[in-house]
Structure 1
Amino acid sequence: MITFDNYVPSIYINGRWKSASSRKKTPVRNPATWDILTHVSYGDEVDTKNAIEAAGEAKEGWASLSPRKRSNILYRAYQLMEENAERIAAVLTMEQGKPLREAKGEIKSAASFLLWYAEEANRLYGEWIPSSIESKRLSVIPQPVGVVGAITPWNFPASMITRKVAPALAAGCTVVLKPASETPLTAIEIVKILEKAGVPDGVVNLVTGNSAKIGDALLHHEAVRLITFTGSTEVGKHLMRESADQVKKLSLELGGHAPIIIFADADLEKAAEMTLASKFRNSGQTCICANRVYVEDKIWDNFKKVLVEKVEAMRLGDGLGDDVDMGPLINEGATEKVHEQVKDAVAKGAEVACGGNIWEGTDKGHYYLPTVLSDVRNDMLVMKEETFGPILPLQSFTSEEEAIRAANDSEYGLAAYFFTKNLDRSVRVAEKLDYGIIGINDVFPAVAEAPFGGIKQSGIGKEGGHHGIHEYVELKYISMGIEN
């Protein structure tokens, strides 16, 4: 069992662990038990300014290192994360709540981004352009943006950090990291790994604390040239507005409302298992999890029966416990939001096929029963608002065109899924769904080697793949006149 001191310094600037300049502290709680795990530093704009200045001073030295040297450091960080996976996963579960096996999977994913961008650091190519003028030679070279402000969420407190920090470091950028206030301990573990791997002082800096003050300091400091953020669409819009005065680059991975379409020719057992896995992973607190399920009317009764049986068999509890399928929600507000969506749906005519209430299996923690709603309508909140909780609404359809139209009826455009054995349909539907990520008979599309990002109000930019590193560079065009 991992234990913590009563206070853990959580601000890391220029290679030194520090307390907040204000000396303020804040508790970190376990959402499964409400117990206080420890206290961490509660930083503000002063600490953020110091971190930005450290990153600014370190950027030239880091950018001037050969890509191979940066690659070696990232590869060492990957090795250290693999070696320390058990500990970091336990820390993650204790402060975030997800089952330990899910946490271990996230650490594996987080490590994969360190490995991928250790490799990509050596492949950030420029371009030679054949000139139309004999006396000119034309080329394009990528150069690091500079100081990056990285703001990460609590639902994936490890992988969302490495998915941003790894490509930034590979490209030659320096970083000021602001993790979610709910999950600072995982961020501390990752920064310690980067420190041990040999990242020079000032290249990666960590500031925990007041989200508004830290965010504003990142937005308004001229040295910060890129803000990369994963979180709500509302906050993403705020970042866009506030960064406009300095025309900062933005990479935003925002909200989602992912549909899943189950066609009659699908493997129903597999479709039900994967729909359940998508929806209830991390207690439904993921941006790409199933939020709406459209079931072809021919298989409505069978699919609903299979799905409900599987959901009712799920086991809730502390993520550190054995055989736990679903842990708690992150806080009381999350539980209240989920219950409000259920009550709204029921009031408007939806049927609660299973779940539909706060779990009474414990007197501690923020738990909600995994819930299936059937006969939902489009005017219900659950069909419009991102849920971020364990509610799965079902709606029937009669034709492919109807299903596509319903799936696309959202301001979000992050991820969409469908199940079918028909190859022609696979191509047609994938091309017509207005989403940045499409899963065909697959609900786990996020991997280090592929681009991840949405369209519409789900964000701008891509993370992952060779595409992801390009968010952290500027292209410099060079035109050179020569004598022939």
Structure 2
Amino acid sequence: MGLSIIPHLISDAASTTGVQIKKVVRRGVILQLQYPTPLVLVASPFDHPTLAAVRPSKAAAAVAAAASRALLGSGPSIASPWPRNRRSRAAASSSAGAGGSRRSGAASPSSTRPPRPPSVRPAALPPVALPRPLRQHTASALLNSAFCFVCAVNGEGDIPAATAEDVEIAVAAARDAFSRDGGRHWSRAPGAVRAKFLRAIAAKIKDRKSDLALLETLDSGKPLDETNADMDDVAACFEYYADLAESLDEKQRSPISLPMENFKSHILKEPIGVVGLITPWNYPLLMATWKVAPSLAAGCTAVLKPSELASLTCLELGAICMEVALPPGVLNIITGLGPEAGAPLSSHPHVDKVAFTGSTETGKRIMTAAAQMVKPVSLELGGKSPLIVFDDVDIDKAVEWAMFGVFANAGQVCSATSRLLLHEKIAKQFLDRLVAWAKNIKVSDPLEEGCRLGSVVSEEQYEKIKKFISTARSEGATILCGGARPQHLRRGFFIEPTIITDVSTSMQIWREEVFGPVICVKEFRTESEAVELANDTHYGLAGAVISNDEERCQRISKALHSGIVWINCSQPTFVQAPWGGNKRSGFGRELGEWGLDNYLTIKQVTKYCSDEPWGWYQPPSKL
């Protein structure tokens, strides 16, 4: 059964329910039906695959039900448990650049309709063979036209699993784009030229915000409110670096003051070259943008490898780049596993720099590979960030920041303030309120309105978090709240907001990054004790302090060994401010002007201006 059957089924279903549909637009796993007002359905990858109404209404539910019965012999599941979110290796090999047409097979309804498929249960559906992507050196992604259909029908999806051969193609495309015609079309073009493309990408992101946010939620389990905010940040990041690309022109040939009048000197800021960008699954498109936008603004060309657990919005970014006519080879996107795609990219001799966000262990391996060629790297790695709360605070206000610091995005945040340090005078009252607030969090299908805690990204991550909690219990800690699956969600990778007390500094839960909705708590008496506990970690990404004593906050902000400090809050992130850590949390800074500097090299140009000889050597005798 081909992709083109789906619009026909939708149209037939609509006609039986009295809904007049003007057209069906297929965008990823999203089927947008235009009738007097837009109706959006999702080809849902739940355990019982259906077409589900995203914006529930009687019309939407009726069409979803009829189409689902025709497609699978079942009704819609509008508020289903979250999907298994599995990924398997693609049956066909992948390539760099664009793989075939963007959405081949997604035909609009026509007068000649194929016969309806028989009504069968999901388990009886045959696997769909994946077409081999065409090998084209273009400024886009590996686009697999069969992926979304497989996801919609079987509850599982395939994305291309790139190999070292594909990395070679991608790097060659990026290298060619960097040096083509002496770089005049990209690397040596005025910053204003690159800014035009970045603003065009931002505009497309804004136009497709709701579609991209929905796709991100379906792929990662994040609440839809969070992914909508992420898309705003993605567009803002491209716009910000468009501005910096333009201002880069003004900073070229900046003069250097010298002590000798017969010399003049200036600097040139030049793109570092071809960069390898390896990004994580917790903020899939946003974390990719933090690297893609500044690297392109600087004039680099790039090979992006997103996490295999959440690649879809990055592939959509590739499609957007094609639509704005980004020059071929400037951005190449490969999907696949770390050992098979990420490792060949980080060790490739023609990649001039690697920027990585992910685990500390993977960061070590990237450093080792890069060191063989003395290749620069920037690393944004793990964290175990502290939040210090003193006894002079508004407790409910502080409690909300403590929760936001570790429960947002289901705690899958590298900077999560997951070590809570409470002044002993307020500890009991604070914990009582923290438990009450935590129990009030809406944990649900991320598509539900008001969801504040969705699923974690994968079964592996789910089991890892549960293991951390069970180990903490076995080591003598108290699970004060949460620690298990919510009772109303029988399936999916959901974990309750978890608060752990009676923790010692030697426990695994205190020392290691959990990357889940888990906070552990210790008490302190004095400011110096709080700072000592806060700094007692191998990590140094972020830290926070909440107090009404401004001088105390300033002292602690200087004393914390971290790259980021928040005062009276946790986790605010702005594209204008630098982001990065110390110690085992990595080095280098993203965002702000520092993010642009990541992808620039500085060249000194010095000129001798005098008409007189230099006069260091005695000239030979004239014969």
Q: Tell me the TM-score normalized by structure 1.
A: 0.94
Distance in 2 (CA, whole Å) between partners of 1:216 and 1:314 is: 40
Q: Tell me what 1:120 maps to.
A: 244
Q: Tell me what 1:176 maps to.
A: 303
**Does residue 36 in structure 1 map to residue 160 in structure 2?**
no
Deviates more, 1:53-62 or 1:358-367: 358-367
Q: 1:161 aligns with which of 288, 299, 322?
A: 288
Q: Tell me what 1:55 maps to.
A: 174
Distance in 1 (CA, whole Å) between partners of 2:492 and 2:600 is: 43
Q: Is the 8 A contact 2:419 2:521 kept in 1?
A: yes
Q: How does 1:131-150 map to 2 (within 5 A)?
A: 131-150=258-277
Q: 1:309 aligns with which of 431, 436, 451?
A: 436
Q: Tell me what 1:192 maps to.
A: 319
Once the 2 structures are TM-superposed, how far is the Cα of residue 230 of structure 1 from its aligned partner? 0.4
- Aligned residue for 1:283, secondary structure, equals helix
- Aligned residue for 1:450, secondary structure, equals coil
Once the 2 structures are TM-superposed, how far is the Cα of residue 145 of structure 1 from its aligned partner? 0.5
Measured at CA, do residues 147 and 402 of structure 1 come closer, stay the same or move farther in structure 2, by a change above 3 Å? same
Q: 1:224 aligns with which of 328, 333, 351?
A: 351
Q: How does 1:421-460 map to 2 (within 5 A)?
A: 421-460=548-587
Q: Is the 8 A contact 1:11 1:17 kept in 2?
A: no
**Does residue 104 in structure 1 map to residue 228 in structure 2?**
yes
Q: Which runs of 5 or more residues in structure 1 are unaligned?
A: none
Distance in 2 (CA, whole Å) between partners of 1:45 and 1:10 is: 11
Distance in 2 (CA, whole Å) between partners of 1:215 and 1:182 is: 14
Q: Tell me what 2:43 maps to.
A: 3
Q: Tell me what 2:48 maps to.
A: none
Distance in 2 (CA, whole Å) between partners of 1:220 and 1:366 is: 34
Q: What percentage of aligned pairs have identical amino acids?
A: 32
Aligned-CA RMSD value: 2.6
- Aligned residue for 1:478, secondary structure, equals strand
Distance in 2 (CA, whole Å) between partners of 1:423 and 1:186 is: 42
Measured at CA, do residues 181 and 466 of structure 1 come closer, stay the same or move farther in structure 2, by a change above 3 Å? same
Q: Tell me what 1:341 maps to.
A: 468
Distance in 2 (CA, whole Å) between partners of 1:258 and 1:102 is: 22
- Give the residue type in structure 2 aligned to 1:200: P
Distance in 2 (CA, whole Å) between partners of 1:27 and 1:238 is: 34
Measured at CA, do residues 344 and 26 of structure 1 come closer, stay the same or move farther in structure 2, by a change above 3 Å? farther
Q: Deviations over 1:319-365 (max 9, x none)?
A: 11222221111122212222222222222322221112233423321
Q: Which runs of 5 or more residues in structure 2 are unaligned?
A: 1-40, 46-87, 102-131, 136-141, 612-623
Q: Is the 8 A contact 1:15 1:200 kept in 2?
A: no
Q: 1:81 aligns with which of 205, 211, 235?
A: 205
Distance in 2 (CA, whole Å) between partners of 1:35 and 1:318 is: 19
Q: Is the 8 A contact 1:21 1:43 kept in 2?
A: no
- Aligned residue for 1:148, secondary structure, equals strand
- Aligned residue for 2:580, secondary structure, equals coil
- Give the residue type in structure 2 aligned to 1:140: I
Structure number with the higher strand fraction is: 1
Distance in 1 (CA, whole Å) between partners of 2:543 and 2:274 is: 34
Distance in 2 (CA, whole Å) between partners of 1:27 and 1:346 is: 45
Deviates more, 1:90-99 or 1:369-378: 369-378
Distance in 2 (CA, whole Å) between partners of 1:17 and 1:303 is: 57
Q: Tell me what 1:374 maps to.
A: 501
Q: Deviations over 1:175-215 (max 9, x none)?
A: 10100001111111122222222311100001111321212
Q: Is the 8 A contact 1:20 1:47 kept in 2?
A: no
Q: Deviations over 1:97-145 (max 9, x none)?
A: 0100011111111111101100000122243112222322111111001
Distance in 2 (CA, whole Å) between partners of 1:234 and 1:27 is: 34
Q: Tell me what 2:454 maps to.
A: 327
Q: Tell me what 1:46 maps to.
A: 165
Q: 1:392 aligns with which of 519, 542, 565?
A: 519
Q: Tell me what 2:541 maps to.
A: 414
Measured at CA, do residues 331 and 38 of structure 1 come closer, stay the same or move farther in structure 2, by a change above 3 Å? closer
Once the 2 structures are TM-superposed, how far is the Cα of residue 27 of structure 1 from its aligned partner? 10
Distance in 2 (CA, whole Å) between partners of 1:246 and 1:284 is: 36
Q: Deviations over 1:76-95 (max 9, x none)?
A: 11111111110000000001
Q: Tell me what 2:484 maps to.
A: 357
- Give the residue type in structure 2 aligned to 1:350: A
Measured at CA, do residues 321 and 9 of structure 1 come closer, stay the same or move farther in structure 2, by a change above 3 Å? farther
Q: 2:362 aligns with which of 235, 238, 241?
A: 235
- Aligned residue for 1:298, secondary structure, equals coil
Q: Deviations over 1:204-262 (max 9, x none)?
A: 00111132121222123222101011000110011001111111111110000011111
Q: Tell me what 2:26 maps to.
A: none
- Aligned residue for 1:62, secondary structure, equals coil
- Aligned residue for 2:259, secondary structure, equals coil
- Aligned residue for 1:364, secondary structure, equals coil
Q: Is the 8 A contact 2:221 2:457 kept in 1?
A: yes
Q: Deviations over 1:364-410 (max 9, x none)?
A: 21111111111211121110000101111111100110000000000
Q: Is the 8 A contact 1:20 1:42 kept in 2?
A: no
Q: Tell me what 1:286 maps to.
A: 413
Measured at CA, do residues 462 and 447 of structure 1 come closer, stay the same or move farther in structure 2, by a change above 3 Å? same
Distance in 2 (CA, whole Å) between partners of 1:212 and 1:348 is: 34
Report which structure shows greater RCO (CA 8 Å, sep ≥6). Answer: 1
Q: Deviations over 1:265-310 (max 9, x none)?
A: 1221111011111211111111011210000001011100111001
Task: Specify the structure having the higher radius of gyration (Cα).
Answer: 2
Once the 2 structures are TM-superposed, how far is the Cα of residue 20 of structure 1 from its aligned partner? 5.6
- Aligned residue for 2:187, secondary structure, equals helix
Q: Tell me the TM-score normalized by structure 2.
A: 0.74
Once the 2 structures are TM-superposed, how far is the Cα of residue 28 of structure 1 from its aligned partner? 7.7
Give the total of aligned pairs.
482
